[in-house]
Amino acid sequence: MSLTVLSFINTNAQLCNGSLGDPAVNITFGNSSGASSYVPSGSYIYLPSSCPNDGYYTITNYTSNCFNNSWYTVTGDHTGNGSFMLVNASYAPGDFFVTTVTDLCPNTTYEFAAWIMNVMNRNSIMPNITFKIETPGGVVLAQFNSGDIPVTAAPVWKQYGFFFTTPVNNPRIVLRMTNNAPGGIGNDIALDDITFRPCGAKINANIQGNTDTINVCEGNINSYTFDGSASSAYTSPIYQWQVSTDSGASWKDIPGANSTSYLRLPTVKADNYWYRLTVIEASVANISSCRIASNSLIINVHPRPTVDAGPNRIILTGNTTTLAGKAEGESIQFVWTPVNYLNDASILNPVVSATNDITYTLSATSTYGCNNADNVQVKVVSGIYVPTAFTPNGDGKNDSWKIPFLDPSFGATVSLFNRNGQLVYHCVEDIVSWDGKINGILQPSGTYVYLITFKEINLMLKGTVTLIR
């Protein structure tokens, strides 16, 4: 099931002609179920069910198969990852949501907004909601009516809202939502993400000599100067640059960045960095809900592709080997160079049939021009020499039996036996290295017989090696 999100509807002549701040109030209903403190006493009753009856409500992240499937199946809130308030209208119209909001900035315009869905999927009584902003004494400061919220072809979250101004000497307000239609068959809604955002005079921010969004690669050493400007309507502004690494979901003050300009130095970590300039009047600096923010400036630092050309290879004259390249990143393109003796330079695992030693480079470039490369050496040998003796005495010289140029890619199985026919060493498709021990026990000096077979090559080697102590 997909949810369609419509854009915010400005519904009041008093609009924000400046810049908005972060939500001073943000009621999301969390991620779990439970009763709500926002329901007027006696108006609605909490029911721990994803299909509450008339006059009941619940906090949930899911509703399905309700009332002979007359409700849509809804999974998640309007962002798809949280809970919402589900209200089955009572038979008598009335308030279904009331809360008191404190710590707002005095004499300030605020944007109020809420997301609502008509959960009915067939013709029925349509929800009709009045939103009111009041003083604690009941004086209406602003109100708006949603009109009839129609049934839609699919479940649709729609944002309703308007602007109002807080009192000069008392920023404490009451939000009231009233259901104007009766319940019964229909008039059932989902409610989510109720916010109050302050509106202030205009604040602009820009990156000197650039657009508002810059894409660079990891390791880029460029610095960028951000410039901000605030309307002259601010009499005693306090400036603060902020940064976000979660696409604006949360912001952190940048220590010391308290002027209209900010020098952004290169960052080591690849990430998406958002910046903005916030402004607050000195007289209300202790009220965070008075802070207003500029537009966002974005520096996207893209990672370099991850490239691995694989382990070095050894091939016998006249034979081939397959390179084990790996390349990952943002929409990358890769290529091997040089193309000599490669069956296909545009695949990660090309077959090599070199006649001389050669070094190959695997290069990768992302959509944003970020690049990286890695090398692999291919050595060509005429044969495999098997040492006939070794001295595991700990002097650092010839302390283990090793077979040079026996590459794991040959698919060799190596077996070593003592004079009694007991298997003392065995490895398959790996680097050969025997220290003259079995389970940590020193083996005696003497002659041992080796047998080497190959999976891909029609070859078998047999001989002896002498362990000297």
CATH number of 389-467: 2.60.40
| pLDDT for 229 | 94
- Per residue in 401-450, pLDDT (tens digit) is 999 888 888 889 999 999 999 999 999 999 999 999 999 999 999 999 99
Please, what is the Cα angle at 123 between 121 and 126, to 5 degrees?
90
Domain 306-381 part of CATH 2.60.40.10: yes
Tokens for 271, please give them.
């990430």
Nearest to 267 by CA among 275, 259, 276: 275
| pLDDT for 15 | 62
Query: Does residue 457 contact residue 383 with C-beta atoms inside 8 Å?
Result: no
Of 168-182, 188-202, 291-305, which range is least confident? 168-182
Domain 4-200 part of CATH 2.130.10.10: no
Domain 203-302 part of CATH 2.60.40.10: yes
As to burial, measured by CB atoms within 10 angstroms (0-12 exposed, 13-18 middle, 19+ buried), residue 2 is exposed
| pLDDT for 112 | 94
- Please, which residues bridge with residue 129 across strands? 179
How many helices and strands (H and E) does the chain possess?
Answer: 0, 40
- Per residue in 175-196, pLDDT (tens digit) is 999 999 887 888 999 999 999 9
The domain limits of the chain are: 4-200, 203-302, 306-381, 389-467
For the full predicted model, state whether its pTM sits above 0.85. Answer: no
- Name residue, tokens 């080591």: 268
**Domain 203-302 shares a fold with domain 306-381:** yes
- Per residue in 147-159, pLDDT (tens digit) is 999 999 999 999 9
Please, what is the Cα angle at 122 between 116 and 126, to 5 degrees?
45
- Per residue in 77-87, pLDDT (tens digit) is 988 889 999 99
Query: Does residue 450 contact residue 413 with C-beta atoms inside 8 Å?
Result: no
